[in-house]
Amino acid sequence: MTEPAGRRPWRLTGPLGICLGSAVLLVVLSTWAPAAAAAHGDLKLGVVPYKSPRSIVRLYSPLAAYLSRAVGRNVRVVTTTSFNEYLQRIYRRQYDIIVLGSTFYFKAHDRAGYQAVARGYPSFRCGIIVRQDSGITRVEQLRGRRMAAVDSMDRGGYKLQVRALKACGIDPDSDIIFHFRGRHDSVIYSVLSGQDDAGAIRLDALHRKEFDHVLDKLRIIYISPENPQFPFAVRPDMAPELKEKIGAALAAITMAGPDTAAILRRLHLQGIERISDKEMEELRRSRQAEEAGM
Protein backbone atom coordinates (compact mmCIF):
# COMPACT_ATOMS: atom_id res chain seq x y z
CA MET A 1 0.00 0.00 0.00
CA THR A 2 1.45 3.36 -1.00
CA GLU A 3 1.03 6.66 0.74
CA PRO A 4 -0.62 9.61 -0.99
CA ALA A 5 1.86 11.82 -2.78
CA GLY A 6 2.92 14.88 -0.90
CA ARG A 7 2.20 13.41 2.55
CA ARG A 8 4.75 11.93 4.90
CA PRO A 9 3.82 9.17 7.39
CA TRP A 10 3.31 10.34 10.98
CA ARG A 11 6.09 9.09 13.24
CA LEU A 12 7.28 9.86 16.72
CA THR A 13 10.93 10.76 16.78
CA GLY A 14 13.35 12.11 19.33
CA PRO A 15 13.08 11.70 23.12
CA LEU A 16 9.27 11.46 23.15
CA GLY A 17 9.29 8.57 20.71
CA ILE A 18 11.96 6.76 22.69
CA CYS A 19 10.02 7.22 25.96
CA LEU A 20 6.73 5.99 24.52
CA GLY A 21 8.42 3.05 22.85
CA SER A 22 10.06 2.09 26.12
CA ALA A 23 6.73 2.35 27.95
CA VAL A 24 5.07 -0.02 25.48
CA LEU A 25 7.96 -2.47 25.87
CA LEU A 26 7.65 -2.33 29.67
CA VAL A 27 3.92 -3.07 29.49
CA VAL A 28 4.56 -6.08 27.27
CA LEU A 29 7.35 -7.35 29.52
CA SER A 30 5.33 -6.84 32.70
CA THR A 31 2.45 -8.79 31.18
CA TRP A 32 4.76 -11.63 30.13
CA ALA A 33 6.90 -11.78 33.28
CA PRO A 34 4.39 -13.44 35.70
CA ALA A 35 3.61 -16.14 33.16
CA ALA A 36 7.31 -16.74 32.58
CA ALA A 37 7.97 -16.85 36.32
CA ALA A 38 5.10 -19.29 36.83
CA ALA A 39 6.49 -21.50 34.07
CA HIS A 40 10.12 -21.50 35.17
CA GLY A 41 10.35 -20.36 38.82
CA ASP A 42 10.24 -22.30 42.07
CA LEU A 43 7.26 -24.50 42.82
CA LYS A 44 5.80 -23.86 46.27
CA LEU A 45 4.82 -26.93 48.28
CA GLY A 46 2.29 -25.58 50.79
CA VAL A 47 1.88 -27.88 53.79
CA VAL A 48 -1.03 -27.55 56.23
CA PRO A 49 0.38 -26.22 59.56
CA TYR A 50 -0.28 -29.26 61.74
CA LYS A 51 3.15 -28.75 63.33
CA SER A 52 5.42 -25.73 63.84
CA PRO A 53 6.78 -24.12 60.63
CA ARG A 54 10.31 -25.27 61.49
CA SER A 55 9.14 -28.87 61.95
CA ILE A 56 7.13 -28.77 58.72
CA VAL A 57 10.15 -27.59 56.73
CA ARG A 58 12.36 -30.23 58.34
CA LEU A 59 9.88 -33.05 57.67
CA TYR A 60 9.00 -32.15 54.08
CA SER A 61 12.34 -30.87 52.74
CA PRO A 62 13.50 -34.37 51.65
CA LEU A 63 10.22 -34.77 49.73
CA ALA A 64 10.71 -31.35 48.13
CA ALA A 65 14.28 -32.26 47.11
CA TYR A 66 13.03 -35.52 45.57
CA LEU A 67 10.29 -33.71 43.61
CA SER A 68 12.80 -31.10 42.43
CA ARG A 69 14.90 -33.83 40.84
CA ALA A 70 11.87 -35.66 39.44
CA VAL A 71 10.18 -32.71 37.73
CA GLY A 72 13.20 -30.56 36.90
CA ARG A 73 11.99 -27.54 38.88
CA ASN A 74 13.06 -26.38 42.33
CA VAL A 75 10.36 -27.26 44.88
CA ARG A 76 10.32 -25.23 48.08
CA VAL A 77 8.44 -26.07 51.30
CA VAL A 78 6.28 -23.27 52.70
CA THR A 79 3.64 -23.13 55.44
CA THR A 80 1.97 -20.70 57.85
CA THR A 81 1.39 -20.44 61.58
CA SER A 82 -2.41 -20.78 61.41
CA PHE A 83 -5.01 -22.82 59.56
CA ASN A 84 -6.95 -19.71 58.57
CA GLU A 85 -3.94 -18.02 56.97
CA TYR A 86 -3.09 -21.26 55.18
CA LEU A 87 -6.58 -21.37 53.66
CA GLN A 88 -6.44 -17.70 52.66
CA ARG A 89 -3.20 -18.34 50.77
CA ILE A 90 -4.78 -21.32 49.05
CA TYR A 91 -7.75 -19.19 47.99
CA ARG A 92 -5.24 -16.74 46.46
CA ARG A 93 -3.51 -19.68 44.74
CA GLN A 94 -0.17 -18.88 46.33
CA TYR A 95 0.83 -22.56 46.42
CA ASP A 96 1.56 -24.77 43.41
CA ILE A 97 1.27 -28.06 45.31
CA ILE A 98 -0.61 -28.51 48.57
CA VAL A 99 -0.60 -31.22 51.25
CA LEU A 100 -3.61 -30.96 53.54
CA GLY A 101 -6.41 -32.80 55.30
CA SER A 102 -9.45 -33.83 53.30
CA THR A 103 -11.68 -31.23 54.98
CA PHE A 104 -9.32 -28.48 53.85
CA TYR A 105 -8.97 -30.12 50.44
CA PHE A 106 -12.69 -29.76 49.77
CA LYS A 107 -12.44 -26.04 50.58
CA ALA A 108 -9.37 -25.70 48.32
CA HIS A 109 -11.13 -27.53 45.51
CA ASP A 110 -14.41 -25.62 45.80
CA ARG A 111 -12.96 -22.13 46.27
CA ALA A 112 -9.72 -22.25 44.28
CA GLY A 113 -10.04 -25.24 41.96
CA TYR A 114 -7.14 -27.33 43.29
CA GLN A 115 -7.05 -30.86 41.86
CA ALA A 116 -6.04 -34.03 43.74
CA VAL A 117 -3.20 -36.07 42.22
CA ALA A 118 -2.04 -38.45 44.99
CA ARG A 119 -2.59 -39.57 48.57
CA GLY A 120 -0.49 -41.32 51.18
CA TYR A 121 -1.39 -44.60 52.85
CA PRO A 122 -2.25 -46.36 55.11
CA SER A 123 -5.24 -44.63 56.66
CA PHE A 124 -5.10 -43.27 60.20
CA ARG A 125 -7.29 -43.03 63.28
CA CYS A 126 -8.04 -40.16 65.63
CA GLY A 127 -8.82 -40.28 69.30
CA ILE A 128 -9.20 -38.72 72.71
CA ILE A 129 -6.36 -39.05 75.22
CA VAL A 130 -6.21 -38.48 78.97
CA ARG A 131 -3.55 -38.98 81.62
CA GLN A 132 -3.31 -42.49 83.07
CA ASP A 133 -3.62 -41.09 86.59
CA SER A 134 -6.67 -38.94 85.78
CA GLY A 135 -9.24 -41.56 86.73
CA ILE A 136 -11.01 -40.94 83.40
CA THR A 137 -11.69 -44.15 81.49
CA ARG A 138 -14.79 -43.29 79.42
CA VAL A 139 -15.87 -40.43 77.16
CA GLU A 140 -18.97 -39.91 79.35
CA GLN A 141 -16.69 -38.75 82.17
CA LEU A 142 -15.52 -35.72 80.18
CA ARG A 143 -18.62 -33.65 80.95
CA GLY A 144 -17.52 -30.38 82.56
CA ARG A 145 -13.84 -31.02 81.78
CA ARG A 146 -11.18 -29.05 79.93
CA MET A 147 -10.31 -30.48 76.53
CA ALA A 148 -7.44 -29.52 74.24
CA ALA A 149 -7.99 -29.62 70.48
CA VAL A 150 -6.02 -28.54 67.43
CA ASP A 151 -8.39 -26.14 65.68
CA SER A 152 -12.14 -25.83 65.16
CA MET A 153 -11.62 -26.54 61.43
CA ASP A 154 -9.49 -29.65 62.00
CA ARG A 155 -11.24 -32.97 61.40
CA GLY A 156 -8.68 -35.21 63.09
CA GLY A 157 -8.02 -32.88 65.99
CA TYR A 158 -11.54 -31.67 66.78
CA LYS A 159 -14.49 -32.60 64.55
CA LEU A 160 -14.37 -36.37 64.95
CA GLN A 161 -13.98 -36.06 68.70
CA VAL A 162 -16.93 -33.65 68.87
CA ARG A 163 -18.99 -36.30 67.11
CA ALA A 164 -17.91 -38.85 69.74
CA LEU A 165 -18.91 -36.46 72.54
CA LYS A 166 -22.36 -35.94 71.02
CA ALA A 167 -22.82 -39.70 70.65
CA CYS A 168 -22.31 -39.97 74.42
CA GLY A 169 -24.88 -37.26 75.16
CA ILE A 170 -22.33 -34.51 75.83
CA ASP A 171 -22.94 -31.05 74.38
CA PRO A 172 -19.52 -29.83 73.17
CA ASP A 173 -20.62 -26.20 73.38
CA SER A 174 -21.88 -26.19 76.96
CA ASP A 175 -20.46 -29.32 78.62
CA ILE A 176 -16.81 -29.03 77.53
CA ILE A 177 -14.28 -26.20 77.92
CA PHE A 178 -12.24 -26.35 74.72
CA HIS A 179 -8.73 -24.92 74.40
CA PHE A 180 -7.40 -24.79 70.84
CA ARG A 181 -3.66 -25.47 70.93
CA GLY A 182 -2.92 -25.26 67.19
CA ARG A 183 -0.77 -28.43 66.90
CA HIS A 184 -1.23 -32.11 67.72
CA ASP A 185 2.00 -32.18 69.73
CA SER A 186 0.85 -29.12 71.70
CA VAL A 187 -2.37 -30.95 72.56
CA ILE A 188 -0.39 -33.93 73.85
CA TYR A 189 1.86 -31.72 75.98
CA SER A 190 -1.13 -29.86 77.44
CA VAL A 191 -2.63 -33.16 78.61
CA LEU A 192 0.67 -34.42 80.00
CA SER A 193 1.21 -31.18 81.93
CA GLY A 194 -2.31 -31.18 83.37
CA GLN A 195 -3.38 -27.96 81.64
CA ASP A 196 -6.18 -29.94 80.03
CA ASP A 197 -8.01 -33.05 81.19
CA ALA A 198 -8.28 -34.57 77.71
CA GLY A 199 -6.96 -34.02 74.21
CA ALA A 200 -8.24 -34.51 70.65
CA ILE A 201 -5.51 -35.77 68.32
CA ARG A 202 -4.56 -37.93 65.36
CA LEU A 203 -3.31 -41.02 67.14
CA ASP A 204 -0.29 -41.38 64.85
CA ALA A 205 1.04 -38.20 66.48
CA LEU A 206 1.90 -40.43 69.45
CA HIS A 207 4.31 -42.41 67.25
CA ARG A 208 6.79 -39.55 67.15
CA LYS A 209 10.10 -40.21 68.85
CA GLU A 210 9.65 -37.32 71.27
CA PHE A 211 6.72 -39.14 72.94
CA ASP A 212 8.34 -42.58 73.30
CA HIS A 213 9.15 -41.99 76.96
CA VAL A 214 5.69 -40.69 77.96
CA LEU A 215 3.30 -43.12 76.26
CA ASP A 216 2.84 -45.03 79.52
CA LYS A 217 1.49 -41.83 81.10
CA LEU A 218 -1.41 -41.56 78.65
CA ARG A 219 -4.65 -43.47 78.13
CA ILE A 220 -6.74 -43.51 74.94
CA ILE A 221 -10.47 -43.46 75.74
CA TYR A 222 -11.83 -43.03 72.21
CA ILE A 223 -10.61 -44.32 68.82
CA SER A 224 -12.28 -43.16 65.60
CA PRO A 225 -12.97 -45.19 62.46
CA GLU A 226 -10.19 -45.14 59.86
CA ASN A 227 -9.60 -41.93 57.88
CA PRO A 228 -7.76 -41.57 54.56
CA GLN A 229 -4.39 -39.83 54.60
CA PHE A 230 -3.74 -36.26 53.44
CA PRO A 231 -4.15 -35.79 49.68
CA PHE A 232 -1.64 -33.94 47.49
CA ALA A 233 -3.24 -31.45 45.10
CA VAL A 234 -2.06 -28.97 42.45
CA ARG A 235 -3.19 -25.62 41.09
CA PRO A 236 -5.94 -25.81 38.45
CA ASP A 237 -3.91 -23.72 35.98
CA MET A 238 -0.83 -25.96 36.17
CA ALA A 239 0.35 -27.31 32.81
CA PRO A 240 -1.06 -30.83 32.29
CA GLU A 241 2.44 -32.22 31.64
CA LEU A 242 3.73 -30.84 34.95
CA LYS A 243 0.66 -32.07 36.83
CA GLU A 244 1.24 -35.57 35.43
CA LYS A 245 4.95 -35.45 36.31
CA ILE A 246 4.17 -34.51 39.92
CA GLY A 247 1.52 -37.21 40.33
CA ALA A 248 3.77 -39.87 38.82
CA ALA A 249 6.75 -38.78 40.93
CA LEU A 250 4.71 -38.98 44.14
CA ALA A 251 3.38 -42.44 43.28
CA ALA A 252 6.95 -43.61 42.61
CA ILE A 253 7.92 -42.99 46.25
CA THR A 254 8.08 -46.50 47.69
CA MET A 255 9.79 -48.46 50.43
CA ALA A 256 11.90 -50.18 47.76
CA GLY A 257 14.60 -47.51 47.55
CA PRO A 258 16.59 -46.27 50.57
CA ASP A 259 16.07 -42.58 49.73
CA THR A 260 12.34 -42.83 49.06
CA ALA A 261 11.84 -45.15 52.05
CA ALA A 262 13.42 -42.49 54.26
CA ILE A 263 10.94 -39.91 52.93
CA LEU A 264 8.00 -42.16 53.78
CA ARG A 265 9.27 -42.94 57.26
CA ARG A 266 9.60 -39.23 58.05
CA LEU A 267 5.96 -38.72 57.07
CA HIS A 268 4.75 -41.91 58.83
CA LEU A 269 3.56 -43.39 55.52
CA GLN A 270 4.01 -46.76 53.84
CA GLY A 271 3.50 -45.41 50.35
CA ILE A 272 1.78 -42.87 48.10
CA GLU A 273 -0.85 -43.71 45.48
CA ARG A 274 -2.45 -41.83 42.61
CA ILE A 275 -5.90 -40.40 43.28
CA SER A 276 -8.36 -38.29 41.31
CA ASP A 277 -10.95 -35.63 42.03
CA LYS A 278 -13.61 -38.26 41.30
CA GLU A 279 -12.38 -40.39 44.21
CA MET A 280 -12.27 -37.34 46.47
CA GLU A 281 -15.87 -36.55 45.52
CA GLU A 282 -16.84 -40.10 46.50
CA LEU A 283 -15.20 -39.49 49.87
CA ARG A 284 -17.15 -36.24 50.24
CA ARG A 285 -20.46 -37.98 49.53
CA SER A 286 -19.72 -40.78 52.00
CA ARG A 287 -18.92 -38.24 54.71
CA GLN A 288 -22.07 -36.26 53.98
CA ALA A 289 -24.13 -39.45 54.27
CA GLU A 290 -22.32 -40.32 57.49
CA GLU A 291 -23.05 -36.90 58.98
CA ALA A 292 -26.68 -37.00 57.86
CA GLY A 293 -27.10 -40.26 59.74
CA MET A 294 -25.82 -38.81 63.02
Give me the percent of the chain exceeding a pLDDT of 90.
73
Could you tell me the end-to-end alpha-carbon distance of the chain, in angstroms, rounded to an integer? 78
* Longest CA–CA separation in the chain, Å: 105
Residue 8: what pLDDT?
A: 43
pTM across the whole model: 0.76
Q: What CATH number was assigned to the domain covering residues 126-223? A: 3.40.190.10
Looking at domain 40-122+228-292, what is its CATH homologous superfamily?
Answer: Periplasmic binding protein-like II (3.40.190.10)
Residue 35: what pLDDT?
A: 40
Residue 257: what pLDDT?
A: 86
> Lowest-confidence range among 15-29, 161-175, 250-264?
15-29
Average pLDDT of the segment spanning 54-59: 94
Average pLDDT of the segment spanning 54-66: 96
**In which band, very low, low, confident or very high, does the pLDDT at 21 lie, cut at 50, 70 and 90?**
very low
Asked whether the domain spanning 126-223 has the same topology as the one spanning 40-122+228-292, the reply is yes
pLDDT digits (tens, 9 = 90+) for 103-114: 899 999 999 999
Average pLDDT of the segment spanning 71-95: 97
> Lowest-confidence range among 5-14, 24-33, 72-81, 263-272?
24-33
Q: Please, are residues 202 and 124 in contact by the beta-carbon 8 Å criterion?
A: yes
Residue 260: what pLDDT?
A: 94
> Lowest-confidence range among 135-144, 170-179, 203-212, 242-251?
203-212
Average pLDDT of the segment spanning 48-55: 91
**In which band, very low, low, confident or very high, does the pLDDT at 208 lie, cut at 50, 70 and 90?**
confident
Q: Could you tell me which residue, 87 or 290, shows the higher pLDDT?
A: 87
| Domain extent listing, the chain | 40-122+228-292, 126-223
Among residues 97, 94, 88, which one has the least CA distance to residue 116? 97
Return mean pLDDT, the chain.
Answer: 87
Counting every residue written for the chain, the total comes to: 294
